């Protein structure tokens, strides 16, 4: 039986991971769970899965969780602080690690798992966006297996030659095509986009996701981050990573080969498919996902993304082209802007304005080490906060 650590266990990825693990009790055991501050969610998970460890990034939340566990007689050991997430990421008794913490907050624990030689299932795309080359180098040096969990990158992985290596261009591949659902505002004009609310942005038509990633999907920044991630993970110049809007979310991505072949991975829009694939790879296990009925789907539609109404995609592409620290800068500015939008301090169309302002105002040197990445992240956040304050609630 294989031990699993789930970083971000109370989020959408974490909950889906635990669902797949529960469906395959003969193969997997939950050794450790990690979250930031969701005490009641973590308590429920500890009651069900009885992990050896539960890590809470917020020390006060860890103390609260420990008290609740003791009153229920649950012997799970509680670890506190951000470093606790790194500790459970490198446990030898849990060689499989799901990196499901959203945003830059997941970078250190993801790197810790790579350095420990774990099977690292990367749902935290920001780690690859911010420090992709560093992460791949660390994983390679430690013998860690990197498996993508984003539905698009997992789909690409499934369509690549078996001998493909992270960070190295696959032999015979001409380009990668990432599909995008388009989010809830695909048909909105610029005037309507300026007045959309956070609740509208978080009401994704196809996928069940957290609020931050739902907003990213609505702005198409999520797809932009995925372009950066794909370029780094699969060793391709960004010019060889395309995006098409596919409203049905049935084809999750495609790989085009030099001989004209175009391979696609299809399935119901459910994150348990890529999670189950990564847990069992190179084998397959049941995921609980509804099987796809092509006759009911009927037809598949594709269209080009409109970067005039959704400029975040173009901004992310530019960051990928510049490379170095530019992706980390773009990611940090986006996280600040999205948080401001969710808090009602910035309108929806202000998000790309913040990203563009910060990107154009900072020099993007080489991302030679983690310190430089984190320094750029901090500076970009400071600049983005000032831009948000200058824009106000409505532009």
Cα–Cα distance for residue pair 378/358, rounded to 1 Å: 12
Is the predicted pLDDT of residue 183 greater than 90, yes or no?
Answer: no
Q: CA angle at residue 296 from 200 to 257, to 5 degrees? A: 85
The pLDDT, as a whole number, for residue 136 is 95
Average of pLDDT values for 57-82?
96
Cα–Cα distance for residue pair 262/345, rounded to 1 Å: 44
DSSP conformation letters of 182-209: --TTTT--HHHHTT--HHHHT--SS---
363, with CB counted inside 10 A (0-12, 13-18, 19+), is exposed
Convert the pLDDT of each residue in 333-370 to its tens digit: 999 999 999 999 999 999 999 999 999 999 999 988 99
Choose between 279 and 202: higher pLDDT. 279
Is the predicted pLDDT of residue 213 greater than 90, yes or no?
Answer: no
Cα–Cα distance for residue pair 165/46, rounded to 1 Å: 36
Average of pLDDT values for 107-119?
96
pLDDT confidence of 125, banded at 50, 70, 90? confident
The pLDDT, as a whole number, for residue 337 is 97
Q: Are 224 and 312 in contact (CB under 8 A)?
A: yes
Choose between 395 and 96: higher pLDDT. 96
Question: Domain boundaries in the chain?
Answer: 2-148, 166-269+294-318, 324-390
The pLDDT, as a whole number, for residue 243 is 97
The pLDDT, as a whole number, for residue 211 is 87
pLDDT-above-90 percentage for the chain: 88
Is the predicted pLDDT of residue 394 greater than 70, yes or no?
Answer: no
Cα–Cα distance for residue pair 45/21, rounded to 1 Å: 12
Hey, what are 54's tokens? 């539960």
> Model pTM?
0.92
- The torsion angle over the Cα atoms of residues 226, 228, 234 and 240, rounded to 10 degrees, is 100
Q: Quick one: how far is CA 195 from the chain centroid?
A: 27
The pLDDT, as a whole number, for residue 55 is 97
Hey, what are 306's tokens? 């409109």
Sign of CA dihedral 197, 203, 204, 208: positive
Residues pairing with 55 in the sheet: 34, 79
Cα–Cα distance for residue pair 136/143, rounded to 1 Å: 10
**The listed CATH number (1.20.120.160, 2.30.30.790, 3.40.50.720, 3.40.50.2300) that belongs to domain 2-148:** 3.40.50.720
Convert the pLDDT of each residue in 133-172 to its tens digit: 899 999 999 999 999 999 999 999 999 998 899 999 999 9
Is the predicted pLDDT of residue 393 greater than 80, yes or no?
Answer: no
Is the predicted pLDDT of residue 65 greater than 70, yes or no?
Answer: yes
239 DSSP 8-state letter: G
Which fold is adopted by the domain 324-390?
A: Rna Polymerase Sigma Factor; Chain: A (1.10.1740)
Cα–Cα distance for residue pair 213/102, rounded to 1 Å: 8
238 DSSP 8-state letter: G
The pLDDT, as a whole number, for residue 228 is 96
Average of pLDDT values for 167-186?
94
The residues, any chain, with a CB within 8 Å of residue 132's CB and separated by 6 or more, are 167, 228, 229, 232, 233, 327
């Amino acid at each position: 039986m294989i031990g699993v650590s789930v970083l971000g266990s109370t989020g959408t990825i974490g909950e889906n991971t635990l669902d797949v693990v529960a469906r395959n009790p003969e193969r997997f055991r939950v050794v450790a769970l990690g979250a930031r501050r969701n005490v009641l969610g973590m308590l429920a998970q500890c009651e069900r899965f009885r992990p050896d460890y539960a890590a809470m990034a917020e020390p006060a939340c860890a103390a609260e969780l420990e008290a609740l566990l003791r009153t229920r007689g649950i012997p799970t050991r509680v670890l506190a602080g951000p470093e606790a997430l790194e500790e459970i990421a490198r446990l030898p008794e849990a060689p499989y690690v799901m990196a499901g913490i959203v945003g830059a907050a997941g970078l250190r624990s993801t790197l810790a798992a790579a350095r420990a030689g774990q099977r690292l299932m990367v749902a935290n795309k920001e780690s690859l966006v911010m420090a992709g080359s560093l992460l791949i180098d660390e994983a390679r040096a430690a013998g860690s297996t990197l498996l993508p969990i984003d539905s698009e990158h997992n789909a690409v992985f499934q369509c690549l030659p078996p001998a493909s290596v992270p960070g190295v261009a696959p032999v015979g591949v001409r380009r990668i095509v990432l599909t995008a659902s388009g989010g809830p505002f695909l048909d909105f004009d610029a005037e309507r986009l300026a007045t959309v609310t956070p609740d509208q942005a978080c009401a994704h038509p196809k996928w069940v996701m957290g609020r931050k990633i739902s907003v990213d999907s609505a702005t198409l920044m999520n797809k932009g981050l995925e372009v950066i991630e794909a370029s780094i993970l699969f060793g391709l110049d960004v010019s060889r990573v395309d995006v098409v809007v596919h409203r049905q979310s049935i084809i999750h991505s495609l790989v085009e080969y030099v001989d004209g072949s175009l391979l696609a991975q299809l399935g119901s829009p459910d994150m348990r498919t890529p999670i189950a694939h990564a847990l069992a790879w190179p084998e397959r296990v049941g995921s609980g996902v509804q099987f796809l009925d092509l006759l009911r789907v009927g037809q598949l539609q594709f269209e080009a993304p409109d970067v005039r109404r959704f400029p975040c995609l173009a901004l992310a592409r530019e960051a990928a082209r510049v490379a170095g620290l530019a992706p980390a800068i773009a990611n940090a500015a986006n996280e600040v802007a999205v948080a401001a939008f969710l808090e009602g301090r910035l309108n929806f169309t202000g998000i790309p304005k913040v990203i563009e302002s910060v990107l154009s105002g900072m020099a993007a040197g080489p991302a030679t080490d983690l310190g430089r990445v984190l320094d750029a992240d901090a500076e970009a956040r400071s600049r983005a906060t000032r831009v948000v304050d200058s824009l106000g609630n409505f532009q």
